[in-house]
Structure 1
Amino acid sequence: MNNLNTIVDSEKRSLEDKLAWVYLINLIFYLIPLFIGSKPIWQIVISLITLLPFIYCYFWAYRSPKKKAIYPILAMIALGIAITPINTGSLSLFTFAGFFIGFNYSLRTAFISLIGFVSLLAAITFILEMNHYNFITYGGLLIAGVGLFGVAERKRVEAHCRAQKSKAEISQLATMLERERIARDLHDIMGHNLSSISLKAELAAKLLDKNQIEQAKLQLRELNEIARDSLSQVRQTVSGYKHKGLSSSVMHLCQTLRDKGLSVSLEGDIPQLNPKLETQVILSLTELCNNVIRHSQADHCSLTFSTSADELTISITDNGKTAKIIEGNGLKGIRERLKGFQGKLDYMINQQCRFTITLPPQKIS
């Protein structure tokens, strides 16, 4: 359960921070009472100033782990209590605190907190001698609704985290099975051949000891053939492991980008290439996608395949904040890979960053 809580905290920071500013639109209900009737300027100014520490506490609560979330929640409640005599829109501040209580704590704790909120609103109404009880009834219902939304959001995040954990376990199991398959294949390929190499080397040594040179040479030639055949089989096997095909590799790269928080669009038909060129294109796309993840600070990336009578074009476009590109070993390596197939790599920075791989038609199978 502790691991799940850690994952939940991490998930909350990575996903919810992007929407944090959007949720603050609910503060409009805090501002509305300031413009109803004639309010002194000092009340408006104090109400607006109060928003500064509240927004700080709001983001503090978003980024706090479960065990420490109580501190910003209590700070938001304290700010709501302090501003209520001046602005009854403080109910909006209480609802934010209710959401974080529902998100971070159990349904039982949220229910007890709701009772506490209603008691707090009743105490405020009594102390300030308010003439209406809408502050209690409307406020209690509003906080309860938002708190339940927080509980639902926590359940959603926990379910997502469990799914991610299950996906990681499946991936780990698949990796273990793949390792076992590789070990089995290499054993099947090399087991008999290595035994033959050992026997022929031992036989050649005995023949040399008996000065039977021609027979020893024959055994050594056969040993050499077995070694060359073994090397060829190993290369073919390893090449088969590394080469999954362009379509499969592109899908894997798209999923990797999504796992890093980017939205991905794939356009055009993925072409069929000859194996040697396909391998170099896969390596080049992998390098470019890794650059997007490491350097671009983008949240969207598109991969586009376009085939014409004159050329094949593959473009990777992101909406990151790249101002300048300094070519390192990665981009130089891509140019060298493509050069052997008369291909080239270009890039353009405008409002977006676009890398384009261009290949001549005679290299497309």
Structure 2
Amino acid sequence: MFRTYQKNDFAYFVSLIFLVFPVLGVFGGYFPVWTIVLTGLFTIAYLLMVYLKKAYSKWIPFLWFYTLAYIIFMTLTFQGGMMWFVFFNVNLLVWRFEDSVSSYRFLSFLATLLILTSSSFLLTDDLSTHLMSMAILLFSLGMYYYQNRIRQERKMEEQNRTINILSAENERNRIGRDLHDTLGHTFAMMSLKTELALKQMDKEQYDAARKNLEELNQISRDSMYEVREIVNKLKYRTVAEELLELERLFDLSDIVLTVDSSLDLDSLSPVTQSTLSMVLRELANNVIKHSQADSCQIRLSRNLGIILEFEDDGCGFKEVTGQELHSIRERLSLVDGDLEILSQSHPTIIRVHLKEGGKA
């Protein structure tokens, strides 16, 4: 029924210190004795929302609306300072429920703030009360925005860390597979040829042994060439391989990726393959890590060279100065390519033009 205590739960308990005010208010004569029951129920409702498992989430709306009703009732009936209790709900919104501004909890929370703030203006002419209610309204919304941004940044960092780990693991598996497929067969053949040559030499079949040694020499030369090819491939992926990897990474990031290509990717030169792969990777990393996009489109075509258009529906660039994506621009300058930002946001569209047969 209840989840276990976690080290980050300490923040939920720190706010409980504010409960001292309604409790002491009873002893000070500010609140009736029976309000202790309401305060106790508020405390229970708050802690239940912190620790109830998802299987019991049907109780959350009742608990949530009780805490808001308690704050409204205590503030309007007894003490305006009880409005500060809205920070209990701010904590829950950001860290427990991770709610967006369109959720029923945030909307009801906002309605509560507006009710309390407007009531302070309607029920009293006291300037200090007006200022306090406005301060609480602005401060609580500011806290929600600030804490929500911190949570989003932490979530994105964790997501990026996971993606990097999976990418590295995938690369290790690819290297291991290539080495196994190439060298495993080669070493088996070399061992077989060596054993056969030794047996032939024991039988004084020198011509046959010489032939096997010559074949062994050729196998070793071929294997050196194949290893060199593997090493070269480690330096870059083909565009087709990069697109497959991007599909997996975007899927992990909950971003819908659409690829539209009219190119024969296998016909591209190694230089073009390498450059396009690296550009695709850097643009994709920017989208995943910074754009907060929900969808992305990659278009590849040929028009006086290779054209790559990268489009996403994320936040984009605040302004375009010509210095954006400088590392990609530098990479493209080495192969007679260029980059242009066609639209800076909503959607963000980046076009890369790469001359075929550019400088190696």
Normalising by the residue count of structure 1, what TM-score does the alignment of the two structures yield?
0.45
Normalising by the residue count of structure 2, what TM-score does the alignment of the two structures yield?
0.45
